[in-house]
Amino acid sequence: MSVYWPFGIRQGGMRSRLIFALDVGSVPEALQFVDLLTREVGMFKVGKQLFLHAGPQIVQMIRERGGEVFLDLKFHDIPRTVAKAAGEATRMGVRMFDVHASGSLEMMRRTVAEVNKVCRGQGLRRPKVLAVTVLTSLNREDLKRVGVTGGIENQVVRLARLAKEANMDGVVASPHEIAPIRKESGRGFLIVTPGVRLRGGNWEDQKRVMTPEAAIRAGADYLVVGQPIREATDPVATAREIVAAMERGLTPADRRGRPLGAPPPD
Ligand code: C5P
């Protein structure tokens, strides 16, 4: 149930935009987090570690407990292979999954087409299909070494444009790239952002970080947070603190709730 905040800001709106990264290597630990946090976050991100450890059943297990899943396997292969993998992710009932935008326009187009075909054919809920632009672990030098000489921001914007052209639903990108992506892609394009830390938290392993307030203010639609919640003595309290910080990132102009994919108000 949503609670209405003063000025009509819908509390619960931001809760649904917080994604907890289930970066653990044991099923009991993963399910313990799911039971603890299902009412506190909007989605659970399942990455390669948990998926390979637990198998595809982990998606079913999370859904049976009332959780939604962002399947973060970052597919990158020939178009047919990625499209077929995307069909399987769709049949699993995930809410979102991602592919690498650098896999090509054709790879993304075929992926979107296969997802639409599977959903239409089987009457399934359509997952959001996201494109990873440039991994946040890469710096300018790393990109140069693989032949990308134009800088990170240019590459991110180029890939976001390609994803939009392929009719992808949005991108995964670092908080510092939200503004240029929003400018380039306009309305209705989702931006999912990792690299988020509460003020005073552990900033050491993520150089390119932002607070939840700042990331929401900049125009992020969903925030992915792992370690700060996972390693908190009270994960529920920390998740609530992050949701409260996200609410603070909304300006009064957002008070009826900001639609997904909307640019932040001026
Ligand atoms: O650091 P934290 O645990 O909050 O990260 C949550 C998720 O964000 C990770 O699962 C990872 O996929 C992603 N991440 C990222 N770039 C980083 C660090 C983490 O995309 N530099």
- pTM metric for this prediction: 0.92
Nearest-CA neighbor of 45 among 62, 64, 20? 20
**Spatial separation of the C-alpha atoms in residues 179 and 193, rounded to whole Å:** 12
> Beta-carbon neighbour count of residue 11 at 10 Å?
14
Q: In a 10 Å sphere around its CB, with 0-12 CB exposed, 13-18 middle and 19+ buried, how is residue 57 labelled?
A: exposed
Please write the tens of the pLDDT for every residue from 71-128.
999 999 999 999 999 999 999 999 999 999 999 999 999 999 999 999 999 999 999 9
Q: Which atom of ligand 1 is nearest to the CA of 47?
A: 10
CA 117 – ligand 1 centroid, Å:
31
pLDDT-based confidence at residue 137 (cuts at 50, 70, 90): confident
**Spatial separation of the C-alpha atoms in residues 224 and 245, rounded to whole Å:** 14
Average the pLDDT over 30-55 and give the result: 98
Average the pLDDT over 164-188 and give the result: 93
**Spatial separation of the C-alpha atoms in residues 89 and 47, rounded to whole Å:** 13
Residue nearest atom 10 in ligand 1 by C-alpha distance: 21
**Spatial separation of the C-alpha atoms in residues 191 and 159, rounded to whole Å:** 13
Crossing angle for the helix pair 79-92 and 105-122, to the nearest 10 degrees: 40
Crossing angle for the helix pair 152-165 and 105-122, to the nearest 10 degrees: 40
Q: Is the CB of 215 under 6 A from ligand 1?
A: no
Domain regions of the chain by residue span: 3-254
Please write the tens of the pLDDT for every residue from 194-244.
999 998 655 545 556 899 999 999 999 999 999 999 999 999 999 999 999
User: Residue 201: its pLDDT value, please?
Assistant: 58
User: Residue 251: its pLDDT value, please?
Assistant: 80
Which CATH number does the domain 3-254 belong to among 3.40.50.300, 3.20.20.70, 3.30.300.30, 3.40.50.10440?
3.20.20.70
